[in-house]
Chain A
Amino acid sequence: LAKTTQPISMDSYEGQEVNITCSHNNIATNDYITWYQQFPSQGPRFIIQGYKTKVTNEVASLFIPADRKSSTLSLPRVSLSDTAVYYCLVDRSARQLTFGSGTQLTVLP
């Protein structure tokens, strides 16, 4: 399974756009890139998934360059409620999600 590397923590202010980058140098051809969000004492929540180029939904965008060795989760105009841990996963299997330590995003007023 591909290993991912992401910053341990990030700080931002309300209303700003936040970009969290994840490195996955050993990504395989049939791997997808998935991001989850987790609040304290809750389970992770699926945010977005992509394979290449750009994916956008109502909460985030995911940018994946052509070589797919990295990806960037973009959160537009964050609010205090976006304070959470964000996990980048690279998986080809439907049977197992492999989480790293994630990025603690703290949104400041």
Chain B
Amino acid sequence: DAGVTQSPTHLIKTRGQQVTLRCSPKSGHDTVSWYQQALGQGPQFIFQYYEEEERQRGNFPDRFSGHQYPNYSSELNVNALLLGDSALYLCASSLNRRNYGYTFGSGTRLTVV
């Protein structure tokens, strides 16, 4: 049973560029959340997708956007990259209406230079 799969594992981008990160949820899960984790900090909630719609958002600017597909997979897009966007981006999947059982992927390490 595959867990959460994220791609790519590592990425280097230049300031001002745009990036797309991808996530395939655990089998049977229908909800996908994205988190940003800076070095030495805990993960910070970006947003959550359910039924192909963003239904909750954390304190992140509009440069951060996402999408969920009918097969529940998801993308995180970040525009106009800043040096401060360098972080580990984590995807977590879950079954709707459960506040436990989140499964996290291993993340995408984004470096902005």
**B58 / chain A contacts, CB cutoff of 8 Å:** 96
Distance A94 CA – B99 CA, assembled complex (angstroms): 4
- Which range holds the interface residue count of chain A? 20 to 34
Distance A96 CA – B105 CA, assembled complex (angstroms): 16
B41 CB–A CB distance under 8 Å: yes
**A100 / chain B contacts, CB cutoff of 8 Å:** 42
Interface residues of A (CB under 8 A from B): 32, 34, 41-46, 49, 87, 91-102
Q: Quick one: closest A residue to B98, CB to CB? A: A94
Structural contact, B106 and A41, CB atoms closer than 8 A: yes
**B56 / chain A contacts, CB cutoff of 8 Å:** 93, 95-96
**A32 / chain B contacts, CB cutoff of 8 Å:** 99-100
**B105 / chain A contacts, CB cutoff of 8 Å:** 43
Q: Quick one: closest A residue to B6, CB to CB? A: A43
**B88 / chain A contacts, CB cutoff of 8 Å:** 41
**A44 / chain B contacts, CB cutoff of 8 Å:** 43, 90, 104
Q: Quick one: closest B residue to A91, CB to CB? A: B99
**B106 / chain A contacts, CB cutoff of 8 Å:** 41-43
Question: CB within 8 A of B100: which of A45, A49, A102?
Answer: A49
Distance A93 CA – B33 CA, assembled complex (angstroms): 13
- Pairs of residues from A and B, 9 with the lowest C-beta to C-beta distance, nearest first: A43-B104, A99-B42, A94-B99, A95-B56, A96-B45, A43-B90, A49-B100, A99-B43, A42-B106
Structural contact, B99 and A45, CB atoms closer than 8 A: no
